[in-house]
Amino acid sequence: DQQVKQNSPSLSVQEGRISILNCDYTNSMFDYFLWYKKYPAEGPTFLISISSIKDKNEDGRFTVFLNKSAKHLSLHIVPSQPGDSAVYFCAASDSGTYKYIFGTGTRLKVLA
C-alpha cells in the first residue's frame, strides 16, 4: 500500500520557468511533510518542510503548498535553474511512528 505517491516519474521545464512537483498521500494521520532532492551517487538532501497546521511554506526559490482536504502537496521552484535537475522525493510522517514514508520520486530536468 503506497501511502505517498508521486504520479509523475519525470518532468522537463525550461530554465527560468516554474517547476511544479506533485505528491499525494492517503494517510490522514500524517502531520509533517518534507521534500528532498537527490543527485546521482549522493544521498538525498533536505529542501523544505511543512507542518499540517500550515498550508504554505517558503524558502527562497522553493515553496511547498499543502492541501489537507485533497491530501495533496506540491513543491514550486521559481525560477528553475539547470542545477535543479535531480530526482525529488516527497516524504510524510505521522508523529510518534518514528519514520518517514517516501514517494517514488520525480526526475526533474531543467533545460538551458
Contact residues for another protein, defined by CB under 8 A: 6, 31-32, 34, 36, 41-46, 49, 51, 89, 91, 93-105
Contact 91, 101 (CB under 8 A): yes
Map grid coordinates 517558503 to a residue: 58
Closest approach, Cβ 91 to another protein, in A, equals: 8
* Smaller CB separation from another protein, 81 or 104: 104
- Residue 94: count of CB within 10 angstroms of its CB: 16
Contact 94, 80 (CB under 8 A): no
Closest approach, Cβ 70 to another protein, in A, equals: 21
Contact 19, 108 (CB under 8 A): yes
* Smaller CB separation from another protein, 19 or 93: 93
* Smaller CB separation from another protein, 14 or 39: 39
Q: What is the CA radius of gyration of the chain?
A: 13
Closest approach, Cβ 88 to another protein, in A, equals: 11
Looking at this protein, which amino acid is placed at residue 37?
A: K
* Smaller CB separation from another protein, 53 or 112: 53
